[in-house]
């Protein structure tokens, strides 16, 4: 994730006519565009996976300690 924050600050990269440009108007190659799309997908999947794993672990930890959430 840190690599992406450093590497892709002008995101998003979009296809404009037959070229690829970022929000600043800088041109990119088709290969760079595909790399950006892959990075974006991996970032979303890993973020959602971390959330999906952390939430149940947190709830199970509370239950194991006897904290049901109700008082």
Query: What's the total number of domains in the chain?
Result: 1
Does residue 70 lie in a domain region? Answer: no
Does residue 55 lie in a domain region? Answer: yes
Residue with more model confidence, 58 or 31: 31
Neighbouring residues of 47: CB distance < 8 A, sequence distance ≥ 6: 1
Instruction: Provide the Cα torsion 59, 62, 68, 71; round to 10°.
Output: -130
Q: Is the pLDDT reported for residue 64 higher than 80?
A: no
Dump pLDDT digits (tens) for 41-52. 988 898 898 888
Does residue 71 lie in a domain region? Answer: no
DSSP code string of 41-68: HHHHHHHHHHHHHHHHHHHHHHHHTT--
Which tokens belong to 24? 């600043």
Dump pLDDT digits (tens) for 8-22. 667 888 998 889 999
Does residue 50 lie in a domain region? Answer: yes
- For range 33-43, the mean pLDDT: 89
pLDDT of residue 68: 54
- Per the CB < 8 A criterion, the answer to whether 19 and 27 are in contact is yes
- pTM assigned to the model: 0.63
Residue numbers of the domain that contains 14: 2-64
Does residue 53 lie in a domain region? Answer: yes
Does residue 45 lie in a domain region? Answer: yes
């Amino acid at each position: 994730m840190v690599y992406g924050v450093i590497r892709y600050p002008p995101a998003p990269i979009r296809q404009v006519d037959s070229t690829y440009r970022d929000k600043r108007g800088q041109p990119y190659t088709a290969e760079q565009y595909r790399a950006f799309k892959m990075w974006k997908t991996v970032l979303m999947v890993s973020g959602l996976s971390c959330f999906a794993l952390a939430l149940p672990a947190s709830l199970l930890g509370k239950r194991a300690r006897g904290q049901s959430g109700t008082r």
